[in-house]
Amino acid sequence: MKTHSTDIAIRGFHIDVFGHTNNARYLEFMEIARWDALGPIIATGFFATRNLGFVIVNININYRAASFVNDCIEVQTSVKKIGNKSIVVYHLVKNKKSNQIICDADVTFVIMDLEARKAVQLEGELRTVFEEL
């Protein structure tokens, strides 16, 4: 996957009692960025017609700096690794103005057969979809 970029404006409801963006919000921002990156493929119905869904199985996140109300952040998203049944997506979150790194994360997910409720092998056209991102 080429690096996909998503800009997000920090709003008042993202801020916690300490005056900075609540840590859990970054997970939401990364999810928005993943949906943006995968949006064109999702829109084709590729996953829906095959009864497939995404399931997060692991998140490793490193917080490095704070962001504040009215900041604009950039979430860069790229595929880090494609395994037999899992995909690791890397997110880098930066302050758009200062270029300071706010956090980064590896997010591991599987593609699940929604009827069987089991992870599927990443092979054939399914694997190709992620290799071509």
Catalytic positions, written as ranges: 16
Question: How far is it, in rounded angstroms, from Cα 121 to Cα 103?
Answer: 31
Question: How far is it, in rounded angstroms, from Cα 12 to Cα 20?
Answer: 9
Q: Which two tokens stand for residue 71?
A: 């900041």
Q: Are 85 and 122 in contact (CB under 8 A)?
A: yes
Look up residue 21 and give its DSSP letter. B
- Which of 112, 108, 74, 109 shows the shortest CA–CA distance to 93? 74
